[in-house]
Structure 1
Amino acid sequence: MRLMLALALSGLALSMPIAALAKTDLAAAVAAPKRPADARALDESRKPAETLAFLGLKPGMQAADIMTGSGYWAEIMADAVGPKGKVTGFEPSQFYASEEEKPKWAALVARRPEVDWVRYPFEAFAAAADSFDFTIINLSYHDLYWQSDKFGIPRTDPDAFVKTLYAATKPGGIVGIIDHAGPAGDTRAVVDKLHRIDPAVVKADFLRAGFVLEAQSPLLANPADDHSKLVFDPAIRGKTDRFLYRFRKPK
């Protein structure tokens, strides 16, 4: 009976499309019990399983989460890539720098020792060539056009960042960008005022570096957002219109 059940289950697995199996793995990663409650609270708006399925994350990949923040994506990805994969979470050294914030970073690192946690100067991202099959940058790419005396962030060169990321991406590798859609205009002024970015600017930056825009998805779009409010405005926070791009480095 057990043998028949095992054969039936294996047959079912073989009959399932690879995409369906990948979605199952991603759903399990999102449901992992070690994820903190404050991260789970973001799932409804971020749609992590659907987003990572669209972007193409798979078990065994070498993956990166740049400007990881709370580690939201890095934690999910660590379970999704499994023991044969690896996740690196990059966080600028200007953040989690205060005595109040340091314990939060330490707690994240302690909770997820299987992730490589890397601190780097915001303005000087670095990674070895051909390191990653997959990279995600969530709601942070626009910050490359931002500068802040408060946080010690100088004017940064987005082209230099994307050039470094291109070199760090393996041939055929993926970069997923999620960000708050913003109006056209002076990019640095828009970012400084609204913490949003014109999607056309992101496309141009990545195409200029050699990436190909393989696909885009309306999964995180919100037509009710008119792009005029600061993303931290309570009226729109957590509900902004977001673009989702999948870039690929040609083989």
Structure 2
Amino acid sequence: MYDQSKVSELIRFAGVDAGSIVIDVYPGEGDWTRLFSDVVGPEGRVYSFVPAEVADFKNDPVGRMRTLAKEPGRENVEAVSADLVAMPQATQPADVLWLHLFYHDLHTALIQKKGATAADFNRAVHERLKPGGSYVIVDHAAAAGSGTSDTQSLHRIDPASVREEVEAAGFVLDAESTMLANKDDAHSIKVFDPSIKGETDRFVYRFVKP
């Protein structure tokens, strides 16, 4: 997790406010789900969405989110799981869809094992967001011009490819931020390598559904 100033800046950038409906896709340990739950308050709602593609992981991601939803004060959290492309049927229209360090996985064999592609998922997000809703993507940057070639090997993706794919689904780029940029990252090392883990060059995009 980032330091508190960056966490606060990311939440502001995403446009999550009191009363917002947020979908947190592939929530991991649930850190962002908890943060969003605190921000949206009793009038808002947070869907902690675990893709069925990863639901059988040994750490029981669905069970973990169901446990999180039972924590005191988390009545506004709902743990849900479905195939990625079925996300619109498992949630209600949302103000913000949050995708943190996961977009690149849409181009890996693991996530595509049920047939979902990045294009399919982007269309599903477009369907689920309210008009004016925000699709926020944070991910590990790959070298410029590399496209999607490093998604499987390095868990990185070229920001330009993400923009192209998301805009093809009908979204408009509303803002981007360099708050997580790291000019010293050579983009040639796997993101889990100890020399770069937690310090990768990351891009932050906010797309809007017109």
TM-score, normalised relative to structure 2 = 0.88
Q: 2:79 corresponds to which residue?
A: 117
1:204-237 residue CA offsets vs partner (Å, 9 max, x unmatched) = 1111111110110111111111111100001101
Q: 1:167 corresponds to which residue?
A: 127
**What letter matches 1:144 in structure 2?**
L
Report the aligned-residue RMSD: 2.3
Deviation at 1:47, TM superposition (A): 2.1
Distance in structure 1 (CA, Å) of the matches to 2:203 and 2:58? 35
Residues 1:228 and 1:220: Cα distance change in structure 2 (over 3 Å): same
Q: Where do 1:146-185 residues align within 5 Å?
A: 146-148=108-110, 153-154=113-114, 156-183=116-143, 184-185=145-146
Distance in structure 1 (CA, Å) of the matches to 2:176 and 2:205? 4
Distance in structure 2 (CA, Å) of the matches to 1:147 and 1:53? 33
Distance in structure 1 (CA, Å) of the matches to 2:97 and 2:66? 23
Deviation at 1:74, TM superposition (A): 1.1
Q: 1:223 corresponds to which residue?
A: 183
Q: 1:85 corresponds to which residue?
A: 44
Structure (1 or 2) with the greater strand fraction:
2
Does 1:233 pair with 2:190?
no
DSSP 3-state at the match of 1:91: strand
Which structure has the greater CA radius of gyration? 1
**What letter matches 2:77 in structure 1?**
V
**What letter matches 1:127 in structure 2?**
P
Residues 1:152 and 1:135: Cα distance change in structure 2 (over 3 Å): closer
Q: 1:127 corresponds to which residue?
A: 88
Q: With CA pairs under 8 Å and 6+ residues apart, which has the higher RCO, 1 or 2?
A: 2
The unaligned stretches of length 5 or more in structure 1 are 1-41
Residues 1:240 and 1:125: Cα distance change in structure 2 (over 3 Å): farther
Does 1:47 pair with 2:9?
no
Residues 1:46 and 1:66: Cα distance change in structure 2 (over 3 Å): farther
Structure (1 or 2) with the greater helix fraction:
1
Question: Across the two proteins, how many residue pairs are aligned to each other?
Answer: 205
**Do 2:147 and 2:158's aligned partners in 1 also have CA atoms closer than 8 Å?**
no
Q: 1:246 corresponds to which residue?
A: 206
Deviation at 1:186, TM superposition (A): 5.3
Identify the match of residue 139 of structure 1 among 95, 101, 117.
Answer: 101
**What letter matches 2:39 in structure 1?**
A
Residues 1:104 and 1:88: Cα distance change in structure 2 (over 3 Å): closer
Residues 1:100 and 1:71: Cα distance change in structure 2 (over 3 Å): closer
**Do 2:20 and 2:96's aligned partners in 1 also have CA atoms closer than 8 Å?**
yes
Deviation at 1:153, TM superposition (A): 3.4
